[in-house]
Amino acid sequence: TAVLMVLILLLILNVSYIQVFQAKHLRSEPGNQRVLLNEYSRQRGTILVGSKAIAFSTVTNDALKYQRKYPQGSIFSSVTGFYSRVYGATALEQKENDILAGNDSRFFVNRIAQLLANRKPAGGAVRLTIDAAAQRAAMQALAGRTGAVIALDPSTGALLAVASSPSFDPNLLASHDPNIIQKSYEALSADSHEPLLNRALAMALPPGSTFKLVTAAAALESGDYTMHSLLPGPARIKLPQSKHYLGNWTGAACGSNNKVTLEQALAVSCNTAFAWLGMKLGPDALQAQAEKFGFETAFNVPMTAAASHFPKKLDRAQTAMSAIGQYDVQATALQMAMVSASIANGGVTMQPYLVSQVLGPDLNTLQNATPTAFGRSVTQKNATSLQSMMQTVVNSGTGSNARIQGLKVGGKTGTAQNAPGSPAHAWFTGWAKRGTNKVAVAVVLQNGGGAPEVSGNGLAAPIAQAVMRAALGQ
């Protein structure tokens, strides 16, 4: 009797543990067919860009009552992700699942009303911050090349474009036929270009010379330099405690008599001047400045973006290389867009976000997003100096392909060295202003997007220009 009582007690405890503590975990398991069938029995909510649905569910005649549809497929797949009966959900379909499936606690009153009115339960909707024109412009300009584009509103942090290329068609993974789903997923997984990878948020690469914006910001914030300060800019410098030399991409000295102002050094992307400056500032100052822009933080937009990284415990040679965005510096397209956005926003870095509104099944607004500041990166005065310096880059420096007639445009190009024998990554980050409207953009083409000659101005800047034009209605 005692043994049976102990066994019964253990059974009660085990069942209670499963029902109470493990319930949420077990309910969210991709292989839980009971939950899957329950979710497919109700109409899943829409994902909206403006007033248009980029993901919605339609009625079917099979066992799964609703079919998920993505009318613009690969254009928005880096945002929507997919909703699959075999592989679960990704991106917003996963992060906003409770809302889209109608399980969110905010729908309690709505569910009671549906029950009393004898209406079928339905999921809620989310409206995004994405600008449809900017997103399309980004995908069209990438043209299938391996890379990413981020565009955001500097004043709020609202993401206007999240483009990753090559892309994929989520409709194939949302099929009700497991064979089609599996074959499609296996083909995408086997593709060496990794179309399922969200390069805009999850891929961190050496930012190359775009990181010189961070180094320039650290110099101005130190109080020892202005945009007119003279720096040494010889054709090459010997790296301390090393046999290696660092040269300028032109092979020549910068400025006059091997001297160049900080503004001009940024405009012509002078490696030797910024390497020298980085060693003078020291790794701690560069680290602190990078973190003020958002490095070392994994932002949830709500998808989790990879944290960008500035290396620690650097010697002088490593500091010199890190100051020009090489060595072990790693940044996402989101992070470099945030650097430009912070400068354009007077030195205030905003938290990036993708969902502007949460809506009920009746499309009544339940919640509006509230823009939130991440922190101050530089003073207003220094932000103004950096804006002027970035305009010089575009107007008379290496970023000429980002010019837009009638608009103020600032930017910075980058050509980041990669593994030996591999092509460099082409970067551009910048901002554009039309009246009171502003947009910040970052573009990266991984391994130059397959181009034989890699140049941030030649490859990435035209993409940024197209996106900025679209975002500002130019």
Q: Which of 78, 209, 269, 340 is catalytic?
A: 209
Does residue 222 have an active-site annotation? no
Q: What are the two backbone dihedrals, phi and then psi, of residue 389, each rounded to the nearest 5 degrees?
A: -65, -40
Rounded to 10°, the helix 283-293/212-222 angle is: 110
Q: Are 98 and 123 contacting, i.e. CB atoms less than 8 angstroms apart? A: no
Contacts of 195 (CB under 8 A, 6+ apart): 166, 167, 168, 188
- The one-letter amino acid code at 317 reads A
Q: Whole-angstrom Cα distance, residue 428 to residue 402?
A: 9
Nearest to 428 by CA among 284, 261, 221, 212: 212
Q: Whole-angstrom Cα distance, residue 189 to residue 456?
A: 29
Q: What are the two backbone dihedrals, phi and then psi, of residue 304, each rounded to the nearest 5 degrees?
A: -85, 120
Q: Are 427 and 210 contacting, i.e. CB atoms less than 8 angstroms apart? A: yes
Contacts of 2 (CB under 8 A, 6+ apart): none
Q: Whole-angstrom Cα distance, residue 430 to residue 467?
A: 11
Q: Whole-angstrom Cα distance, residue 460 to residue 452?
A: 14
SS3 199: helix
Interior CA angle at 343 toward 338 and 347, to 5°? Answer: 100
Q: How would you class 163 by CB atoms within 10 Å of its CB: exposed for 0-12, middle for 13-18, buried for 19 or more?
A: buried
Q: Are 156 and 433 contacting, i.e. CB atoms less than 8 angstroms apart? A: no
Nearest to 209 by CA among 463, 455, 464, 472: 455
Considering only CA atoms, give the Rg of the chain: 25
- The one-letter amino acid code at 86 reads V
265: enclosing H helix or E strand = helix 262-267
Q: Whole-angstrom Cα distance, residue 40 to residue 35?
A: 9
The catalytic residues are 209
